Amino acid sequence: MAVVDYGVGNLRSVERALERAGATAVITPDPDEVAGCDGVVLPGVGAFAPAAALLRSTGLGEAVSEAARRARPVLGVCLGFQLLFEESDEGEGGSGLGLLPGRVTRIAAPGLKVPHMGWNRLHILRPDPLLQGVEEGAWCYFVHSYAADAGTEAVVATVDHGGELAAVCRTGSVAGTQFHPEKSGAAGLGIYARLVAACAAGSALAPAAPESAR
């Protein structure tokens, strides 16, 4: 599984979490290696516009898109999640990868601190393979000032910070979490485990078989 190295984010913590989930993970800046892996994690911290520019200039954005076109599981995390969307109004703004529908806008939370930082509870809107085994109200770790205004069909789970914000989205084999799974305890590690299982099965995040069928 490829962890995309475009110079943004704490890659080692993502790599370690994937390895704990049973993956053979490789941190790579090579677009060909990213496009050829069984699955892709796009991490990231920082600002949208310079990160999007790095993805374009290195060819890594196209490599992530190619993995998605081949129905390989793709997971964006934090800024990496936001980069999966069509555009952002952060700073200079700019275009994202367009793999998830919607745009990224600044959080409006009167009376509350922005950035939204720390532990908060997930509200799961509908069952999804990525969240299989994650309980309603599970605590996850967030650090962000912008949030995705996503199409309703893509939003799987939300978080409340001055209103409901998209916390997990998925369209086909492309998914993302606004929180950091690698910092979110058992719930986050469970998400990585589901991603790793999908890669091992060569599936686009299909539900796991019942115990009796294994």
Query: Is 180 assigned a catalytic role?
Result: yes
Which residue type does 143 have? V
Query: Is 78 assigned a catalytic role?
Result: yes
Selecting among 78, 140, 169, 199, the annotated active-site residue is 78
134-148 per-residue burial string, b: 16 or more CB within 10 A, e: under 16 = beeebbbbbebebbb
| Furthest C-alpha separation in the chain | 53
Selecting among 116, 144, 161, 180, the annotated active-site residue is 180
Between CA 47 and CA 52, with CA 50 as vertex, the angle to 5 degrees is 95
Selecting among 37, 140, 182, 199, the annotated active-site residue is 182
Are the beta carbons of 88 and 102 closer than 8 angstroms? no
Query: Is 182 assigned a catalytic role?
Result: yes
Q: From CA 151, how far away is CA 66, in angstroms rounded?
A: 22
Write out the DSSP string of 66-98.
Answer: HHHHTT--EEEETHHHHHTSSEE-STT-EE---
Residues annotated as part of the active site: 78, 180, 182
